[in-house]
């Protein structure tokens, strides 16, 4: 139990450090990244653009949407209510928040979950864009700490969940149903 207490203390200290080093340009960038990450909007937009360029990508686009739906459902409907971790601005009133204050719980980060799920599945659909997709995913996830609405562990937990959701979506989309014999 002592190790868990130390982990929570380190998590809070890392959040404080990350949220006290601000610059107006970084503030604008991070709020913008946070906004485009809401509800997986950027990942949906990229998916739609790729399908518009090449209709043969429909199956891959479906995999992206399945991964994003799994990330949302698992994060917001299952894990957040079970864990019920208070947001940093609720736990420490002095926390600087430079974006809107979400009404949901803090752990895990839905932005991080959808960003990793989106980046992993989109990288299969657009292999040449892997670097850009991963950079975008990391920046969206980090923006949530920077704007003051998540702890680093929330983002790491969300990222891990995003990996699992991408894997499940891939398995669902690539598993062929075999007819049973009568």
Q: How many CA atoms lie within 13 A of 113 on its CB side?
A: 28
CB 125, CB 47: distance < 8 Å: yes
Q: Residue 16 — pLDDT band, cuts 50, 70, 90?
A: confident
Owning domain of residue 87: 24-174
Q: How many domains does the chain have?
A: 1
CA–CA distance, 165 with 73 (Å, rounded to integer): 10
Q: Flag whether 3 is in a domain.
A: no
CATH code for the domain of 113: 1.10.606.20
CA–CA distance, 118 with 133 (Å, rounded to integer): 8
Digit-coded pLDDT (tens) for 40-50: 999 999 999 99
- Alpha helix (H) residue ranges in the chain: 2-20, 24-37, 41-53, 58-72, 80-83, 88-91, 110-125, 130-146, 152-174
Q: For the chain, what percent of residues have pLDDT higher than 90?
A: 66
Q: Flag whether 53 is in a domain.
A: yes
Q: Flag whether 182 is in a domain.
A: no
Q: Residue 11 — pLDDT band, cuts 50, 70, 90?
A: confident
Residue 79 confidence (pLDDT) = 97
Q: Flag whether 159 is in a domain.
A: yes
Q: Flag whether 99 is in a domain.
A: yes
Digit-coded pLDDT (tens) for 123-181: 999 999 999 999 999 999 999 999 999 999 999 999 999 999 999 999 998 886 555 66
Candidate from 59-63, 109-113, 115-119, 134-138 with smallest mean pLDDT: 59-63
Residue 181 confidence (pLDDT) = 60
Q: Flag whether 100 is in a domain.
A: yes
Q: Flag whether 151 is in a domain.
A: yes
Residue 182 confidence (pLDDT) = 53
Q: Flag whether 12 is in a domain.
A: no
CA–CA distance, 69 with 149 (Å, rounded to integer): 22
Q: Residue 95 — pLDDT band, cuts 50, 70, 90?
A: confident
For 165, counting Cβ atoms within 10 Å of its Cβ (0-12 exposed, 13-18 middle, 19+ buried), the class is buried
More confident residue, 98 or 177: 98
């Amino acid at each position: 139990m002592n190790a868990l207490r130390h982990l929570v203390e380190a998590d809070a200290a890392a959040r404080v450090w990350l949220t006290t080093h601000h610059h107006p340009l970084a503030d604008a960038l991070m709020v913008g990244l946070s906004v485009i990450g809401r509800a997986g909007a950027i990942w949906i937009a990229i998916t739609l653009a790729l399908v518009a360029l090449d209709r043969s990508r429909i199956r891959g686009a479906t995999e992206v949407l399945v991964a994003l739906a799994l990330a949302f459902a698992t994060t917001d409907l299952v894990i957040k209510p079970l864990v019920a971790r208070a947001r940093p601005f609720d736990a420490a009133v002095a926390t600087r928040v430079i974006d809107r204050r979400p009404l949901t719980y803090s752990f895990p980060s839905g932005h991080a979950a959808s960003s990793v799920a989106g980046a992993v599945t989109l990288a299969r659909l657009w292999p040449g864009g892997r670097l850009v997709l991963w950079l975008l995913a990391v920046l969206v996830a980090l923006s949530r700490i920077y704007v003051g609405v998540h702890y680093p562990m929330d983002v790491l937990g969300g990222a891990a969940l995003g990996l699992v959701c991408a894997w499940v979506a891939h398995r669902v989309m690539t598993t062929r149903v075999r007819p049973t014999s009568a």
